[in-house]
A = this chain, B = another copy of it.
Amino acid sequence: MPSESEASRPFLTWQRVIDWAQEHYRCRTFSKDEKIPVRPGLLYLVQRGSVRLVSISQVSATASSTASRFTRRRESNPNVWTPEEAFLGFVGAGQPFEIVAQSPFTIQSYAHVDKTSVIWMYWHDLDNWPHFRREVMDAFRYQHQRKLLWLSTLGQRRTIDRLLGFITLLVEEHGEPCDNGYCLPWTLTHAQIGSAIGSTRVTVTRLMGKLRSRGLIRTQGDNLICLPASDAPKTE
């Protein structure tokens, strides 16, 4: 029975893997923003929905003072100190993920949309499907290349350039065709965008307005971010 995410799945052996996961109780469905427990040494596959990877920083240049170890979240309760959290990207349906390296950051995963289903397995379970193992490895190679591009834009000096580069890469990876362009299928808050590009919610809101007024991005429906089909900026 084909699922709605079938079109985007890169794996030929996918249905057999899903069947195996069902038989072995290695599949679980999460609701929006629910934390997905992950352990090093295990391989995870997104069957449906989308997974959001985030990291929590454990280091700070001013570690001697407890208060300054944490970044004040200005947009919420000013008396609450929270560790800084960074958005690291989505893992879409049909894609694998794993979380191994940790120090000095803790990487966590959340269901980004409701009814996100995740399959898990040990690496040696892949011995049953050598061809599938190769597909998983190729998917990680691809993800690695994409992260090099993310690093490229995060090295840019001006925040507005990082913001546009970040949005461009995200829509390239996950965008779906819409009127006159490509649209991110899920919402992302300005605070989440800020956490990815080393900026704040307030600055992101301001710069998103600038990009919109220059015709470099659009928003659609439920605040979904779109890139116009043509690269040429519209003059207004």
Q: Interface residues, chain A, CB within 8 Å of chain B?
A: 53, 55, 57, 59-64, 71, 84, 86-89, 98-101, 103-105, 107, 137, 140-158, 160-165, 168-169, 172, 194-200, 210-211, 214, 216, 233, 235
**Option from B144, B158, B169, B196 in Cβ contact (under 8 Å) with A143:** B144
A161 touches B61 (CB 8 A): yes
Do the beta carbons of B61 and A163 come within 8 Å of each other? yes
Chain B neighbourhood of A101, CB < 8 A: 142, 145-146, 148-149
What copy number does this chain have within its complex? 2
A57 to B151, CA, bound (A): 11
Residue in B closest to A143 when the chains form the complex, CB atoms? B144
Task: Say which residue of B55, B172, B199 sits within 8 Å of A148 (CB atoms).
Answer: B55
Out of B53, B140, B142, B154, name the residue touching A141 (CB < 8 Å): B140
A103 CB → nearest B CB, Å: 8
Q: A137 — which chain B residues lie within 8 A by C-beta?
A: 137, 140-141
Complex: chain B residue closest to A100, CB-CB:
B145
Most B-side CB within 10 Å, residue of A101, A165, A235: A101
